[in-house]
Structure 1
Amino acid sequence: MQVESNISLNSYNTLGLRSEAELFTELHSPEDLQKLINDTSIRKLPWNILGGGSNLVLPSLVRGLVLKVANTGHEVLGDDKDYWFVKVQAGEVWNDFVQGTLQKGIYGLENLSLIPGTAGASPIQNIGAYGVEVKDSIFEVHCLDLKTGEEKVFSNKECRFAYRDSFFKQEGAGRYLVWDVTFRLPKNNVMHLEYGDIRKELERLGLSNEPRHIANAVINIRQSKLPDPRVIGNAGSFFKNPIVPKSTRDALLERHTDLVSFPYQTEHFKLAAGWLIDRAGWKGKMLGPVGMYEKQALVLVNHGGASADDVWKLANQVTTDVKSIFGVEIEPEPIRW
């Protein structure tokens, strides 16, 4: 393990923002973390944990130490009559893990194909797409205490999952480093085809609703709507879909008959933030070097040379306009360092 100074983070964030870490190191083992904790000169600095950088808005200079989680790989731990148990290391690329399970004939994560980032971020963000949230498949999360280096295992319940949220984004933020995640995936898999254009894409491709075909459909849909960060800097979906009471949704539906919404828990609905942003006039519109993507209004893109200030200026304006027109608050997903 080596701690380096003044390291560019330009290639470590998918938004492509110019950023530099005052200090930077990669973590390959729990022992690496313990060495940092025992180094009093480093321990007193602020620390930031870096995964795939796909859900971050970075400042031009990150003070203190950036820790890049670099453990990779996944393994099948075993099974019972109903489930497979699969462990994935936090630094593993999420989509590599999803496709790896499918290749083994283990299903349940197919709707989450091609979500950017690393597996370690999945419980933190409670990632989700196309009607599926990762919380429904996580068995337990193995963490390292950033203060002591001690190991701690969190059960699914202890993770306190919510929509795009968890204990690790709230009380556990800055205290625990996710090191690996164990998934419990059903042998009797239930297909989720009701969200988005999955059924249409399967029909277009002439495919049945098998898990690997669903994954292919999801990948095709995402690639058709979402820009490749290697070509256009972006952090995927920039805003959360707001959750509102049924009464609010019904009132909006009276004024906007094409409102896109989905039932969410009892007497609540999830509104499509992309639809709200589009109708607010921001789809394909720029503000300085950043804008909302022309093919998907939910995605904020960096057309080149943008700073964190540019990103938040646009995000604030979009939020203000949506609130003014629809009376609904939309909240950014990415983490702000």
Structure 2
Amino acid sequence: MQIETGVSLKPYNTFGLPALAGRLVRITSEADVRRVVDSPDMGRAPKFILGGGSNVILTRDMPELVLKIEVPGLKVLEDGPEAVVIEAGAGERWHDLVAWSLDQGLGGLENMALIPGTVGAAPVQNIGAYGLELKDRFHSLDTVDLTTGRTVTLYPDQCHFGYRDSVFKQGLAGKSVITRVRLTLPKPWQPMLSYLDLERKMAETGNASPDARTIFNWVCEIRRAKLPDPAVIGNVGSFFKNPVVSPEQCKDIIARDPHIVHYPMPDGSFKLAAGWMIDACGWKGKTIGHAGVYEKQALVLVNRGDAVGSEVQTLARAIQESVYGRFGIRLEPEPVIV
């Protein structure tokens, strides 16, 4: 277990926001978490759990004990006739897990290629893209209780997965550390191609039966064309959730804005495209301070250089008020604002 003091968190959040951690502990195993819990000093200290920093907006320095999750490991646990179960350490990069699984000849995660962040953060947010969510492949995970130090295994029903939501953003927020995640990849592999962008790729290439590697490459191309690389332009990907509304609400909004992009959901509700609404309010390319709205995708807020958390917060609130004023919809941020 490595303990550091006075650590700049700017390299550890993808928006590139300045913040200072009084103390930072690098967690590489379950045993490290237990050492923190058992420490007379650290065990009682308020804690902040940090993965890849791709889903957090830092608006202040961190007096809390920052637990930087760096648990490694990628392996196949079970290879059965109907599915393969793989396990990854919480500190592994999510995209690296997707690429590794394909290198093992295992399809099933390719639609979620290039999603930033770590494996341990994936269940917290119930990440998803191009028609697939983490919950669709989730098997189980290990988490260490920050009060007792005990390792507990949680299964799908216990995680309460929702749209960009889970028990780790609700009842277990800040109370446990995810150390390992297991995923089920079904056999035989079946492609998921119902998303419009993937249908366009099939039409463009003339390939109506792409394999998993091809879909992976397509998703990477689509994401790179739409979203800025955090290593070049600071961002956290999609900043706002796509709001879900009732059929009545959707009908009312369509009556006022016939061109609004919307998608039917299995339960009869409708998902509205937050990026379309933000763009319709004229925000694309606009800037407040050093924080701005990305020119190619209005759903993405970016660091124009030396942005601070308060500027991002001000921009986000202005967008929320603008969208609410026109559509009567209150957008909800995806990242955690600290």
- The question of a shared fold, defined as TM-score above 0.5 by the shorter chain, is answered with yes
Provide the rounded CA distance (Å) in 2 between the counterparts of 1:103 and 1:258: 42
Residue of structure 2 equivalent to 1:46: 46
Paired residues of 2:119 and 2:181 also in contact (CA < 8 A): yes
Provide the rounded CA distance (Å) in 1 between the counterparts of 2:93 and 2:182: 15
Give how far 1:205 is off.
4.2
Give how far 1:117 is off.
0.3
Supply the AA of the counterpart residue of 2:225.
S
Q: SS in structure 1 opposite 2:54? A: coil
Give how far 1:212 is off.
1.2
Supply the AA of the counterpart residue of 1:127.
I
Residue of structure 2 equivalent to 1:81: 81
Supply the AA of the counterpart residue of 2:257.
H
Paired residues of 1:73 and 1:88 also in contact (CA < 8 A): yes
Q: Does 2:108 align with 1:115?
A: no
Provide the rounded CA distance (Å) in 1 between the counterparts of 2:204 and 2:116: 25
Give how far 1:231 is off.
1.1
Cα RMSD after superposing both structures:
1.2
Residue of structure 1 equivalent to 2:7: 7
Q: SS in structure 1 opposite 2:214? A: helix
Provide the rounded CA distance (Å) in 2 between the counterparts of 1:60 and 1:303: 19
Q: SS in structure 1 opposite 2:2? A: coil
What percentage of residue pairs aligned between the two structures are identical?
A: 44
Q: 1:38-75, CA deviations, whole angstroms, 9 ceiling, x for partnerless residues?
A: 22122222111110000011133111211111111211
Provide the rounded CA distance (Å) in 2 between the counterparts of 1:141 and 1:263: 31
Give how far 1:306 is off.
1.3
Residue of structure 1 equivalent to 2:283: 282
How do residues 143-222 of structure 1 correspond to structure 2 at under 5 angstroms? 143-207=143-207, 208-222=209-223
Provide the rounded CA distance (Å) in 1 between the counterparts of 2:137 and 2:306: 39
Residue of structure 1 equivalent to 2:264: 263
Provide the rounded CA distance (Å) in 2 between the counterparts of 1:19 and 1:76: 38
Give how far 1:316 is off.
0.6
Q: SS in structure 2 opposite 1:7? A: strand
Residue of structure 1 equivalent to 2:315: 314
Residue of structure 2 equivalent to 1:25: 25
Residue of structure 2 equivalent to 1:230: 231
Residue of structure 1 equivalent to 2:99: 99
Give how far 1:254 is off.
2.6
Paired residues of 2:7 and 2:24 also in contact (CA < 8 A): yes
Supply the AA of the counterpart residue of 1:120.
G
Give how far 1:35 is off.
1.6
Paired residues of 1:107 and 1:187 also in contact (CA < 8 A): no
Give how far 1:122 is off.
0.8
Q: 1:141-177, CA deviations, whole angstroms, 9 ceiling, x for partnerless residues?
A: 1111111211101111111101000011100111111
Provide the rounded CA distance (Å) in 2 between the counterparts of 1:310 and 1:40: 38
Supply the AA of the counterpart residue of 1:329.
R
- TM-score scaled to structure 2, two decimals? 0.97
Supply the AA of the counterpart residue of 1:277.
I
Provide the rounded CA distance (Å) in 2 between the counterparts of 1:318 and 1:267: 28
Query: What is the count of residue pairs matched by the alignment?
Result: 337
Q: 1:243-283, CA deviations, whole angstroms, 9 ceiling, x for partnerless residues?
A: 00112112222332221111123220111111111101111
Q: SS in structure 1 opposite 2:180? A: strand
Give how far 1:83 is off.
0.9
Provide the rounded CA distance (Å) in 2 between the counterparts of 1:286 and 1:59: 18
Supply the AA of the counterpart residue of 2:167.
F
Q: 1:292-336, CA deviations, whole angstroms, 9 ceiling, x for partnerless residues?
A: 100000001010111111111110110111011011121000012
Where structure 2 has 5 or more consecutive residues not aligned to the other structure, the ranges are none
How do residues 245-260 of structure 1 correspond to structure 2 at under 5 angstroms? 245-260=246-261
Q: SS in structure 2 opposite 1:3? A: strand
Where structure 1 has 5 or more consecutive residues not aligned to the other structure, the ranges are none
- TM-score scaled to structure 1, two decimals? 0.97
Supply the AA of the counterpart residue of 1:40.
P
Provide the rounded CA distance (Å) in 2 between the counterparts of 1:269 and 1:259: 12
Supply the AA of the counterpart residue of 2:120.
G
Provide the rounded CA distance (Å) in 1 between the counterparts of 2:133 and 2:5: 38
Paired residues of 1:75 and 1:87 also in contact (CA < 8 A): yes
Provide the rounded CA distance (Å) in 2 between the counterparts of 1:310 and 1:80: 51
Give how far 1:12 is off.
0.2
Provide the rounded CA distance (Å) in 2 between the counterparts of 1:77 and 1:93: 19
Provide the rounded CA distance (Å) in 2 between the counterparts of 1:25 and 1:202: 47
Q: 1:186-217, CA deviations, whole angstroms, 9 ceiling, x for partnerless residues?
A: 11233222224112124434544221111111
Provide the rounded CA distance (Å) in 1 between the counterparts of 2:200 and 2:72: 35
Residue of structure 1 equivalent to 2:60: 60
Give how far 1:24 is off.
0.7
Q: 1:79-122, CA deviations, whole angstroms, 9 ceiling, x for partnerless residues?
A: 22211111111000000001111121211111100000000111
Provide the rounded CA distance (Å) in 1 between the counterparts of 2:196 and 2:51: 28
Give how far 1:241 is off.
0.4
Provide the rounded CA distance (Å) in 2 between the counterparts of 1:103 and 1:264: 33
